[in-house]
Amino acid sequence: MTKVDRYLQAATREHTRRSYQSAVEHFEVAWGSVLPTTATELARYLAHYAETLAITTLKQRLAALSRWHQAQGFADPTKAPLVRQVLKGIRELHPEKAKQAKPLQLNVLEQMIGYLDQQARQAMQTENAAMHLRTTRDKALVLMGFWRAFRSDELSRLHIEHLEFVPGEGMIAYLPRNKTDPTNQGQAFRLPELRRLCPVEACRQYLALLQQSSGPLFRAVTRWGAVSGTPLRADSIIPLLRQLLQQARVDDVALYSSHSLRRGFANWANQQGWSLKQLMEHVGWRDVKSAMRYLESSDPFSQQAIDHALALPAPHQVQNLLNTHVLELQLYLQPYHQRGRTTAARQHIERYCLKPYAITRGSKPENYVLTMQARDREELDGMVDDLLLQLHDAAKANHCMVEISLSEPATGSVWN
């Protein structure tokens, strides 16, 4: 392999390479066609598999074939109107219901950890070092995956030399790259030291048994205790998790996947009253839509919300319970890309973000006066946090940087 080939290979993740290679093989072997191909042949390919393959799978196959044509210097037939229209028709006639992993609730997590603790004690009593190491590894993997909302590929890419323990506070796990870091800037994930179900203590116990100072954190362990030098594959974590759930006598194990850890933590944090901004920062989501896909309502039929509303006083009485806050907003927008649109960003912000707060213009174009009504300071802070997040998202969607200053002159409060 030449140096050029080496860097080209490093530019694409291993999982993506395998997925693309599989798609190309399916087109050439299973379908029996050749590359390069035409838009007409691709349309026939899509129509043939429309009833047997999910629309997401077909789109992934098209992405792989598109990449192949571009890499080989051929015109890309996947962008042809014919292919797009066929794909649109398939989506219309074969709508696909989004499948989501069942969130791992805290009581299920406790049930799993209780089982693993029991297995570890049994391994110590019988002097089964291999079993002791595996159960300790699995406990650390599950707790770190839950409390840090790690994806399976992130768990598989954790390295021992990238862990830093902070006494009395927790642990920092550094990942040189992840799914939301295409430029490979790296990201540090902080795990808290907890009174129970502690991921930090579980990791310490596992490292004490593993006796390795570098290399992959989570590795395969044979029945005889031999430790692999390579990490657990990301696609092996789902069957491992389901096996642990089954052994812990949890029902409906087939509904769980590695995303269950991520969804489980997100729903737990949401139930505990975490703000959306706080949750997004902890998990690493870049946009609100990604976050909302993971959250489930604690009141799916809106029964509690409606019953609560029916029990509330009449609207004119509720108004008397609210405090009115007059806030001054200074909003500066500046494009950071040649496609940056400050005018469009400001129009969107005024129409959708600020309009609910009865805005009036200030003395300058960037100045606004807002009116918010809240029962107490905590509710006001939450409303302000949500508004600031909306302003940043609107600016980002239009390739703009935004500088915000929000204050309440009557109390001297300032939010930036």
Residue owning tokens 């609100």: 288
Distance CA 121, CA 42 (A): 58
pLDDT tens, N- to C-terminus, the chain (416 residues): 666 666 555 555 566 777 888 889 999 999 999 999 999 999 999 999 998 888 888 999 999 999 999 989 999 999 999 999 999 999 888 887 666 788 899 999 999 999 999 999 999 999 999 999 999 999 999 999 999 989 888 999 999 999 999 988 899 999 887 666 555 677 888 998 999 999 999 999 999 999 999 999 999 998 888 999 999 998 899 999 999 999 999 998 989 988 899 888 888 888 888 887 888 888 777 777 667 766 766 555 556 666 666 666 665 554 556 788 999 999 999 888 888 888 888 988 888 888 888 888 877 888 999 999 888 888 888 889 888 888 988 888 888 888 999 999 888 888 87
Residue intervals of the chain classified under CATH 1.10.443.10 are 106-271
Residue intervals of the chain classified under CATH 3.30.70.1130 are 315-415
Could you tell me the two tokens for 405? 């200053």
Contact criterion met (CB below 8 Å) for 393 and 288: yes
Start-to-end C-alpha separation, the chain: 52
The CATH number of domain 3-93 is 1.10.150.130: yes
What pLDDT score was predicted for residue 237?
92
Which residues neighbour 383 within 8 Å (Cβ) at sequence distance 6 or greater? 372, 374
What pLDDT score was predicted for residue 356?
86
What pLDDT score was predicted for residue 158?
94
Q: To 5 degrees, how large is the angle CA 135–CA 138–CA 139?
A: 85
Distance CA 386, CA 144 (A): 28
Homologous superfamily assigned to 106-271? Intergrase catalytic core (1.10.443.10)
Domain boundaries 315-415, corresponding CATH code: 3.30.70.1130
Backbone angles phi, psi at 33, to 5 degrees: -105, -175
**Tally of CA atoms within 13 A in the half-sphere of 128 that contains its CB:** 15
Residue intervals of the chain classified under CATH 1.10.150.130 are 3-93
Backbone angles phi, psi at 183, to 5 degrees: -90, 5
Per-residue pLDDT of 151-194, as tens digits, reads 888 999 999 999 999 988 899 999 887 666 555 677 888 998 99
Contact criterion met (CB below 8 Å) for 184 and 10: no
What pLDDT score was predicted for residue 62?
93
What pLDDT score was predicted for residue 398?
87
Distance CA 258, CA 279 (A): 19
